[in-house]
Amino acid sequence: MSLAPLEMSVPASDGLILKGTLTYPNPYAGVAFPLAVLAHQYPATRDSYAPLTTDLIQSGIATLAFDLRGHGASIVSRTGPLIIDTPEGLSLEAFGKAFVSSAGKVGFSRIDNDIVRVVSWGVNQNFIDAGRLALVGASIGGSGVLLAGEKIPRLRAIVTVGAAGSPAIGPDAGDRIRANLERTTVPCFLASAREDPFDGGGNVTAWSRGLPHVTPRLIQGSAHAMAIYYDVRDELLRFLSTALGLQ
């Protein structure tokens, strides 16, 4: 028996409607599936996780990929459309200007709370094992899952690729991420390119230092976030399969 994908509509704390898709492995064999919740990078959408979603489904892990606030279909607010700015030009300066503008405009400070709400929706759906839950985040989504993790009981794993942009969530968000990681024992896999232009490599080093439950993975180059997926794919999938009890 196959299970059709479920479309998610979840109200955020400010009333914005978060949209996502819960996809089950097939065929359904009468067991509850582990769940990975996927928070993407700016200025992408949930579709940027297509390669990972395919691999997780094939590994027996259900996925809930959602559009961050102001991205994709998550733009319906009480006051009308709420949409990120996108870079006007190809320079890092143009990217940074649009990112900072978007952070204030759509409320990136709420991303970690958004993730908690999305997780709550996902674990309450049929055929999901709420005791086998993972968070995956890229860039600003990576910072978001690292902040949200401490608010989610029975979490089994956190994975980030190029986690960055934490000051857009809050001026002390980077320090809070490190403090969260010091308090938790949840296995974490933090990956980035060493020369990531948004300091993903520096974040991996600072946030993992001296913490045995945090696995850092730095690769050569300057690619950002999901652009490094195929460089870390095998290790990432093994990590999640082990943490979620599939190996």
Residues 6+ apart with CB under 8 A from 212: none
The residue among 240, 247, 245, 246 whose CA lies nearest residue 36 is 240
Give the chain's radius of gyration (CA, Å): 17
What does the pLDDT read at residue 28? 79
In this prediction, residue 1 carries a pLDDT of 74
> Per the structure block, which two tokens stand in for 82?
């709420």
Alpha-carbon distance of 146 to 142, in angstroms, equals: 6
pTM of the model: 0.97
Over residues 119-138, mean pLDDT: 97
For 69-109, how does the pLDDT look when each residue is reduced to its tens digit (9 = 90+)? 999 999 999 999 999 999 999 999 999 999 999 999 999 99
Quick: pLDDT tens for 19-69: 999 999 988 777 899 999 999 999 999 999 999 999 999 999 999 999 999
Q: For 218-236, how does the pLDDT look when each residue is reduced to its tens digit (9 = 90+)?
A: 999 999 999 999 999 999 9
Q: Per the structure block, which two tokens stand in for 185? A: 């024992």
Instruction: Kindly report, residue by residue over 12-21, the tens digit of the pLDDT.
Output: 999 999 999 9
Name residue, tokens 């001026």.
171
CATH number given to 6-243? 3.40.50.1820
Reading the block at residue 190, the tokens are 């933090």
- By the 10 Å C-beta count (0-12 exposed, 13-18 middle, 19+ buried), 211 is classed as middle
pLDDT band at residue 157 under the 50/70/90 scheme: very high
| DSSP-based three-state secondary structure for 58 | helix
Q: What are the structure tokens assigned to 106, written together?
A: 């759509």
Rounded-to-integer distance, Cα 111 and Cα 95, Å = 19
